[in-house]
Amino acid sequence: MIEVRVQSLGIDQSSKSPVVILQETNGERMLPIWIGPSEANAIAMELAGMKFERPLTHDLAAALIRGLGGALTRVLITRVQSNTYFAELVIQRGNEVFSIDARPSDSIAIALRMRARVFTSEELLTPTAIAMDPDQSLADIPKARDEETLSAEQLQDYLRKLNPEDLGRFNP
């Protein structure tokens, strides 16, 4: 498994969906994941250091893990199936270690709050080549056929060429 970090958060203007872009910690490869607006907001608020008087959902989840004597040791983004990403929260309580199935967006939001590391598989970061047209929408990337994926270099080049109108910054 390869450690990743939140590189940026944006809005895909063609689909109007938030996108979290994960980048390998000691490298250049990236993994874009389209997420829901509430999860994007939760990630953005934690990245910005915004705190609220009452706990929000991801704060509550972190408090529950701690309150039950557990520690989030890591988040694993394990696979993609039918354009849906899967993740696991790996929690340790005493000598017991267990995994809980979760959406990557929720997992990332909780990991940020608990200062846990996030990992993904080599396969999700090492795709094979696919031709990318600079005018192609970012929303088209996850709709590629299963045997066609975007190389890390092509994704980086594509993201560099995007106009601000194509991928706006996400603001909570």
| CATH number, domain containing residue 119 | 3.10.690.10
Taking Cα atoms as reference points, which of 25, 154, 2, 165 lies closest to residue 76?
A: 2
Taking 80 as the threshold, does the pLDDT of residue 79 lie above it? Answer: yes
Record the pTM: 0.75
Indicate the pLDDT class of residue 23, thresholds 50, 70 and 90: very high
Burial group, residue 155, by CB count within 10 angstroms (0-12, 13-18, 19+): buried
Instruction: Look at the chain and report how many structural domains it folds into.
Output: 1
Domain limits for position 25: 2-169
Average pLDDT, rounded, for the chain? 80
Helix (H) / strand (E) containing 60: helix 57-67
Indicate the pLDDT class of residue 158, thresholds 50, 70 and 90: low
- Give the Å distances, CA to CA, from 74 to 13, 36, 64, 111: 32, 22, 16, 7
Indicate the pLDDT class of residue 98, thresholds 50, 70 and 90: very high
- Give the Å distances, CA to CA, from 73 to 38, 44, 91, 97, 120: 24, 22, 6, 9, 14
